[in-house]
Structure 1
């Protein structure tokens, strides 16, 4: 490993330790040229899972895209930052489980998980998200969705 002090490539490992979850190994190293001691970390590089879009394209899953949609739909609503973060974590956890060993999930599955989570925290945000996700193109679709929500609340 490259010494951050002198740039030499020869070093020896003095000590190795795993973190508590077992996902990272911390190694204390000493440069054989200058004696400088430094720490390196090793972790598993996970292969990202893919999202299968409606048109058949595949792209890496990016929680930031989901976050952008959630933030827009909850804008000017009484939804705390903590709640939004928890919803995003829940969505990501469910999507990872849905992807399974194939490491692929459809964009529809992601949208349905997001809708379910939004429905539980704010029905207006749910309607906003649904209007974009389900591509509402007329008022009747809004009315139908709102009637469904009010029917479920009774």
Structure 2
């Protein structure tokens, strides 16, 4: 593993353990040249995914790009990082089981589903960019739909 500080090619693994959710291996490394310590994560990748964008372009799937998009939506929200990471891992696994190519719209919908279950404000933030809101009314519409879904159903005897 290349050292992020001095770019030396060799580093020594000092400690290795699974992450809390067991989806990755966390390794503490030390550079053999400069002695700096850093952490790396090793994840299982079932297959190489290609994302097919709306305009037909194809590009390799990047977990970090997905994490950044979700990070923008969840910024300043009180959501534990491990929940966000589990959501990202779940989305990636679901996409990997669908085949080698995945449409960007499928990724967007998977993120919307995950955020809706995780945090309504983050869901609305992501939706505003993903759905390309152009008017304030769009925010009101999606907020109303979230509020309706989140409201508890009235007891059956109150429906009549």
Task: Say which SS state the counterpart of residue 54 (structure 1) adopts.
Answer: coil
- Give the distance between the partners of 2:88 and 2:63, measured in 1 at CA: 8
1:51/1:130 CA distance change after superposition, 3 Å: same
Q: Which residue of 2 aligns with 1:146?
A: 143
Q: Which residue of 1 aligns with 2:12?
A: none
- Give the distance between the partners of 1:143 and 1:62, measured in 2 at CA: 32
The two structures, once aligned, show a CA RMSD in angstroms of 1.5
1:76-115: CA deviation from partner (whole Å, max 9, x where unpaired)? 10101111111110110111122x2xx1010000010011
Q: TM-score, normalised by structure 1?
A: 0.66
**Divergent runs of 4+, >4 A:** none
Contact conserved, 2:54 with 2:104, CA < 8 A, in 1?
Answer: yes
Q: Which residue of 2 aligns with 1:49?
A: 49
Are 1:90 and 2:90 counterparts? yes
* Structure 1 portions without partners, runs of 5+: 1-44
1:47/1:74 CA distance change after superposition, 3 Å: closer
Q: Which residue of 2 aligns with 1:30?
A: none
1:5-47: CA deviation from partner (whole Å, max 9, x where unpaired)? xxxxxxxxxxxxxxxxxxxxxxxxxxxxxxxxxxxxxxxx986
Q: Which residue of 1 aligns with 2:73?
A: 73
Query: What's the CA shift for 1:123?
Result: 0.3
- Give the distance between the partners of 1:46 and 1:89, measured in 2 at CA: 12
- Give the distance between the partners of 2:47 and 2:89, measured in 1 at CA: 19
* Structure 2 portions without partners, runs of 5+: 1-44, 152-160
Q: TM-score, normalised by structure 2?
A: 0.64
1:141/1:47 CA distance change after superposition, 3 Å: same
